[in-house]
A and B are shown apart, each in its own frame.
Chain A
Amino acid sequence: MSSALTQRFPGINYGFIGGVCLVILSLIGMVETFNQREIISEVITMGQTLLLLTAAFIAYKGASRASGTGQAAVIGLTTGLVTAVILALLVLLGKSVNMRQVFINASPVLFQILIFQQEELWVGILLLLLAGLITGLAAGLLARVSARPRSILITGIFTLTFVGMLQDTLSPVFSEWGALSGFNELLFAANGLSISGAVGLFTAVIAVKLLWNWKSASTQTAVRSMPPQARKRLNLVFAIIGVFVLLILPQVLGLFLSEVLTIIGLYVMLGLGLNIIVGFSGMLDLGHVAYFAIGSYTIAILTSPELGFFSFTFWQALPFAIVMGVVTGILICTPVLKMRGDYLAITTLGFGEIIRLLVLSDFLRPWLGGAQGIGKIPKAAIMGFEFTRPQDLYYLILAGCLLVAFIAWRIRDSRLGRSWMAVREDEDVAQAMAINLVSTKLKAFAVGAGFSALSGAIFATKLSSVYPHSFNVMISINILCVIIVGGMGSIPGVIVGAAALVGLPELLREFAEYRLLVYGAVLVAMMLLRPEGLWPEAQLARELKGDDATAETNNQTPAAAGSQS
């Protein structure tokens, strides 16, 4: 692309990026797979939404640099057009050559989707170009709308996409609600939202948003001006409501959603554990799955009759599992005490893999079960009540999560928590401030590993069996993603991250093959656009923001990069 051309039509380079993105999305098969679900029944599918939103985002990014509404519209239009032209070229190429020998997802079905299922090729191509122009124009104009109505519109669009996407999970739940099941018929069609439901939902979201904007400021001042005692009472009321909701949740949501909640809960515990090591103390640990595995295997060895060494109950074995986790944490931490950053990451990754490979090998098979794993792990029981169904396990996991979150929250503001954060900010200064690096780091690993071992212990009784394959490096990466997306060092962030990155993919099971692709993209995008996470911890956010600001001023002089450490 010559710079004169991009000068004349500033949307062209964005259009080019957009076109390449959409071609990639199409060729990796996401569009075709996502097309099985409809967002709004008979109107728009999930695959089309994916393409539209991606194109709109890039056009929006391009247009937000424009100085006037006219220019924004032009940039939007050019971006949309160029994007659509590139996609149209893909369709023309795919229609004339058989690309499937190389790109297995370049199927005729995909090209039919891209040209809106038209019989005539040229009609479809025209429609595609038109769609590109409209999307580009809409996104370009959106960039010029003032902030408040824009955020309302964007929230509306995302809520619609989200609810429509989850139709087949939400609809069965709503239909069991007796009197409220009429609501279900109004909102959903057989696949996706019904048109009336979509309009209704959109209006409702806008109304709520407006009300929120209108009332939130005055409510906040009202709460702030309350006497402290009344505020305390208010907090208590909210806490009681929160606990009540958490307690009845599995009864309302049914089997499948409870199962999803249990998985989220396990990841919340793991995430809180890793959060102490990475988020609080700033040591990047890529072998976190090791502690999870240790917790699971300790329970398995101590309780399973299959090996026959011990026959403890779950509750007798649980303390051993946690202690084993803590000991492993300390053992792994001792050699890496002096390492920082990259080396620490690679070493912990190595430890995680060593543990998995040892468990997997024939060498330790008589003790650890080898590749076949260990089965027949008894369920946890209290006074004859067994935690078997997901709805029951939920309470066990909820108790674990609350305990872990409480400990993490209390430690964070203690002397120990402060020393972790000091170590995270600057080890040398922390040491100069009389913080004992060795014991501080060891404690971080011990606590983090203990949390994860607890999670592993519950995981073992949940599945009744453990296999080495459940403990691969992907779990470590997943946990890392959870805390990064949620916001490093932030306790509510871990819960948000787990719900978004573990809960959502469980609900969208048929798209499981794209899970790690999306994880990877989300990690990169988060680091580029919002390194502080969804629910950031106040201090870390300031720090990252501050660094961003200096980064922007330093961009002109590449030389400044070298001095970072």
Chain B
Amino acid sequence: MLQKLRERITATDIIMWAIGATLVAVILYGSAATLIKGAYSGSHWVDFIIFGLAQGSIYALIAMGYTMVYGVLRMINFAHSEVFMSGPYTAYYFAAYFFSSGLLDAHPVLSLVALFLISMATSTLIAVLLERIAYRPLRTAPRLVPLITAIGASFFLQYMFRGFYGSGFQAYPVIRGLEGHLALGPIRVLKFQLLIILAAAFLMVALYQFVQRTKIGKAIRSVSEDKEASALMGIDVDRMITMTFVIGGAAAGAAGVLYALMFKQVHFFMGFIPGIKAFTAAVLGGIGNIPGAMLGGIFLGLVESVGPSLFLDGLGIPAPYQLKDAIAFTLLVLILIFRPTGILGERLAVKKA
């Protein structure tokens, strides 16, 4: 019987590897064809890459929340995308006020910092409430239960904010100091994209140092290793779980402002796609692994901005940019199938998946 079973599994494995190989071949052929055709110049590719880096660093910040919560609770916080949305959407009203009162033009740095703080505070508040109300009572429930709760909470929050602020797109005010290009040697970079990359890098380093160096960070890591042993070592497990949500919420709130700076608008549904992308990023890097999430985010951002033109254009597919989300989802599915532990992952045992 066991022999037979083993044979069957290898058969499906073979099929899956065949699918994977075909996809890789298609990607290689497409890239080669695109490059030979030469439809894009070098500066196009540079633009794509910088755009990808900016977008990827936003994904990376959101992915931190997913990965840390997965680390301590072993659950996917589906509602994290709404934690991400709540911050910039609330901060929008302050941004509009700063703009109309002239503060935004007079003190751009000050008002940006204020916007960041407001957004981070809102997202953190939502994340903490979410943990307290929806997740804490279910900590010992079967795995499916908190997952469904998270899906429900995600929809509830989305439509709650829609009820508060309305269903329209709100245009974020433009900050004049961030318009235009900046020449870095031979490369011309859009100023706001540079700001996004730098701010995200700073935040990621800061958060990583916080988790690695401080006592709270150490306690969080210990809780994600083993809750029981941590409790015996005198760590307040509940408080550390809340702290995890605080950190994840703050990172998501900051990512939200960066997202609003990049795409210049906010909407109650804006969290869904970046949320799934960030989850993909977290899985890519190995869920539960913080540097992995950062790396995965940036990699995903690059694939998404470079991929459609590079892989698909050469195959003669019209309007390849429409398929960028499909590329991200395909990447997610492929990673989950072929390397569920992610690029840097080692934490996740096969059993847990």
Contact = CB atoms under 8 A, between A and B. Distances in A.
Q: Tell me whether A and B are bound partners.
A: yes
A436 B318 contact: no
Interface in A270-309: 282, 284, 286
Nearest to B153: A524
A524 B319 contact: no
Contacts, number: 215
A513 B164 CA distance: 13
Contact of A520 (B15, B159, B232): B159
A350 B333 contact: yes
Contacts of B340: 339, 343
A561 B145 CA distance: 14
A384 interface: no
Interface in A346-360: 346-347, 349-351, 353-354, 357-358, 360
Judged by DSSP, the binding face of B is: helix
Nearest to A105: B163
B265 interface: no
A357 B140 CA distance: 37
Interface in B246-265: none
B348 to A, nearest CB: 9
B86 to A, nearest CB: 13
Contact of B163 (A28, A101, A339, A480): A28
Contact of B333 (A30, A354, A526, A563): A354
Interface string A382-402: 000000000000000000000
A517 B155 contact: yes
B184 interface: no
A308 to B, nearest CB: 21
B353 A340 contact: yes
Interface stretch (B1-9, B49-57, B188-196): B1-9
Interface in B114-143: 134, 137-143
B329 A353 contact: yes
Interface stretch (A71-79, A406-414, A550-558): A550-558
A557 B145 contact: no
Contact of A438 (B8, B163, B276, B332): B8
B326 A358 contact: yes
B102 interface: no
- Give the one of A24, A103, A350 with max B CB within 10 A: A350
Judged by DSSP, the binding face of A is: helix
Interface stretch (B209-217, B223-231, B291-299): B223-231
Interface string A510-546: 0001101101111110111001000000000001100
B36 interface: no
Interface string B147-191: 111011111111110111111000000000000000000000000
B156 A520 contact: yes
Interface residues of B, number: 71
Nearest to A360: B322
A222 interface: no
B140 A480 contact: no
Contacts of B232: 559
Contacts of B141: 527, 531, 544, 547-548, 551
Chain A interface: which size bin? 35 or more
Interface string A423-453: 0000000010010101000000000000000
A363 B147 contact: no
B326 A357 contact: yes
Contacts of A438: 5, 8-9, 12
A477 interface: yes
Nearest to A527: B149
A251 to B, nearest CB: 37
A469 B155 CA distance: 19
Given A335-B337, A357-B323, A550-B140, 5 more contacts: A103-B164, A103-B165, A104-B165, A353-B329, A520-B155
12 contacts: A334-B16, A337-B12, A346-B279, A347-B332, A350-B276, A354-B326, A357-B322, A357-B326, A520-B153, A523-B149, A561-B140, A561-B227
The 3 closest A-B pairs by CB, nearest first: A28-B163, A523-B152, A520-B156
